[in-house]
């Protein structure tokens, strides 16, 4: 006896999750794939072109007794929630031109050729006959199962939860919880030390006596580095992270001025053209009102002043893209498969990256496309001078193979932007 005889059809199983009485037919096709399928959920032959086509891309005309695939005609999309879907294709008959739904919706509708006995299945299978109560139930309980979710369910991956606005969220409280963990992280944190800061410092190109503002300075690592290079630095932050910076300052007297200040309230505290340079390291994606922040940065930056910021990459980092490890305990990076989600979805997103603190503590990211950042900069006379998408070097791959190889050497996880303030251009 073949083991395949015990495999349930992938589509039947998906449908059974939303329609309790749905019978799961054993898969007789593609048994060894991720998506084993039964005869009902297999392929049907287009009467026009003769091509065997997936059941979700072919319609049946009961009048002409014809199958028509969507490559032979022009299909329409119909947005309707049914089973595990939120749309179906309406595919005109190649003979009479009348629109008929693709077989996935036809089955839900009770008009599949096997249900209305236009055709007899060649295999002995149980055909589900929908009743109205179940149809309504499944519409209410709709759960959009995308290919991405299917793949994610096969392994481990970071948590991504899109939130509806307005949300109950205060960045202070999140970072207050995170502060004790990050406070113990020394400056040699792999990403900061090797991927982000070298680029930020190169773009800032600090000169002696320059007045620099560090927005969301955290525990003051960057502020102290800038002071070491001769700059006069002010650091602002709203979380308890700042306490660690102040504590260190009291001990060692670097000469950094620290203020507990929200990045959205810069103009309450600083005059127009107060700074030669402004840096905001890995924070803008955590700030809801980035437009306000950019406007105010432009205001307090002097003419020809430089503003440099780094963020997680809007296209290649969470929450727009994620990864799933299959098998989930594999230690090889080629088994961390990259998955792409909705780049344009700007809803605040709760994410947690791992299972141990601080990575398991959820933080809120405010995702937005690259164009949103760049257009806001341009609108505020901050002209882009350079973009950097750091890539792990061969050297880094040798030193940190698990972080860098097939990870930071194949896609940028950070975006670093250098702008210059120009009032007329």
- Binding interface with Zn ion (CB under 5 A): 9, 11-12, 25, 38, 41, 46, 48-49, 61, 63-64, 69, 72, 93, 95-96
Nearer to Zn ion, 93 or 285 (CB): 93
- Residue 383 CB: number of other CB atoms within 10 A? 14
Do residues 46 and 68 make contact, with C-beta atoms less than 8 angstroms apart? yes
- Provide the 8-state DSSP code for 392: -
Nearer to Zn ion, 49 or 378 (CB): 49
Backbone angles phi, psi at 209, to 5 degrees: 70, 0
Structure tokens at 200: 């930020």
Q: How far is the CB of 99 from Zn ion (least distance, A)?
A: 10
* Calpha distance 204→192 (Å, rounded): 16
Nearer to Zn ion, 93 or 266 (CB): 93
Nearer to Zn ion, 9 or 377 (CB): 9
- Residue 218 CB: number of other CB atoms within 10 A? 23
Q: How far is the CB of 317 from Zn ion (least distance, A)?
A: 37
Nearer to Zn ion, 48 or 291 (CB): 48
Q: b or e along 32-68 (b: 16 or more beta carbons within 10 Å of the residue's beta carbon)? A: eeeebbbbbbbbbebbbeeeebbbebbbbbeebebbb
Q: How far is the CB of 92 from Zn ion (least distance, A)?
A: 8
Nearer to Zn ion, 85 or 413 (CB): 85
Residue 161 pairs in a beta bridge with 350
* Calpha distance 247→240 (Å, rounded): 11
Q: How far is the CB of 1 from Zn ion (least distance, A)?
A: 21
Residue 339 pairs in a beta bridge with 322
Q: How far is the CB of 15 from Zn ion (least distance, A)?
A: 8
Peptide bond just before 358 cis, omega within 30 deg: yes
Structure tokens at 358: 């601080």
What pairing do the DSSP bridges indicate for beta strands 336-340 and 321-325?
Answer: antiparallel
Q: How far is the CB of 65 from Zn ion (least distance, A)?
A: 8
Q: How far is the CB of 37 from Zn ion (least distance, A)?
A: 6
| DSSP tally for the chain: helices H, then strands E | 14, 19
Nearer to Zn ion, 38 or 263 (CB): 38
Nearer to Zn ion, 7 or 152 (CB): 7
Q: How far is the CB of 42 from Zn ion (least distance, A)?
A: 8
Do residues 52 and 30 make contact, with C-beta atoms less than 8 angstroms apart? no
């Amino acid at each position: 006896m073949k083991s395949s005889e015990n495999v349930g059809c992938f589509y039947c199983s998906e449908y059974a999750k939303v329609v309790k009485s749905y019978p799961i037919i054993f898969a007789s096709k593609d048994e060894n794939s991720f998506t084993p399928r039964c005869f009902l959920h297999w392929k049907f032959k287009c009467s026009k072109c003769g091509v065997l086509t997936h059941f979700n891309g072919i319609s049946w005309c009961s009048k002409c007794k014809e199958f028509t695939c969507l490559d032979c005609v022009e299909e329409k999309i119909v947005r309707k929630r049914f089973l595990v879907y939120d749309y179906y294709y309406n595919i005109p008959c190649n003979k009479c031109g009348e629109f008929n739904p693709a077989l996935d919706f036809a089955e839900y509708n009770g008009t599949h050729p096997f249900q209305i006995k236009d055709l007899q299945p060649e295999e002995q299978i149980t055909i589900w006959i929908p009743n109205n109560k179940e149809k309504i139930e499944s519409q209410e309980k709709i759960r959009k199962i995308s290919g991405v979710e299917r793949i994610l369910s096969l392994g481990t991956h970071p948590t991504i939860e899109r939130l509806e606005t307005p949300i109950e969220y205060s960045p202070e409280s999140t970072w207050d919880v995170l502060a004790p963990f990050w406070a113990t992280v020394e400056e040699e944190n792999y990403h900061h030390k090797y991927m982000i800061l070298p680029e930020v410092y190169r773009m800032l190109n600090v000169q002696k006596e320059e007045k620099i503002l560090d927005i969301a300075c955290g525990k003051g690592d960057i502020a102290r580095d800038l002071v070491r290079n001769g700059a006069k630095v002010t650091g602002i932050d709203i979380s308890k992270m700042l306490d660690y910076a102040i504590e260190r300052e009291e001990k060692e007297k670097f000469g950094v001025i620290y203020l507990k200040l929200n990045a959205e309230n810069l103009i309450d505290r600083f005059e127009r053209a107060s700074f030669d340079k402004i840096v905001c390291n890995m924070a803008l994606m955590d700030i809801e009102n980035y437009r306000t922040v950019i406007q105010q940065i432009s205001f307090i930056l002097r003419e020809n002043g430089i503003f440099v910021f780094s963020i997680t990459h809007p296209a290649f980092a969470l929450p727009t893209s994620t990864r799933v490890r299959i098998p989930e305990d594999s230690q090889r990076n080629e088994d961390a498969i990259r998955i792409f989600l909705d780049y344009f979805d700007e809803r605040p997103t709760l994410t947690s990256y791992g299972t141990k603190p601080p990575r398991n503590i959820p933080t809120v990211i405010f995702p937005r496309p690259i164009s949103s950042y760049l257009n806001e900069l341009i609108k505020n006379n901050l002209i882009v001078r350079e973009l950097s998408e750091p890539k792990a070097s061969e050297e880094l791959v040798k030193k940190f193979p698990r972080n860098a190889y097939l990870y930071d050497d194949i896609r940028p996880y950070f975006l670093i932007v250098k702008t210059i303030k120009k009032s007329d251009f």
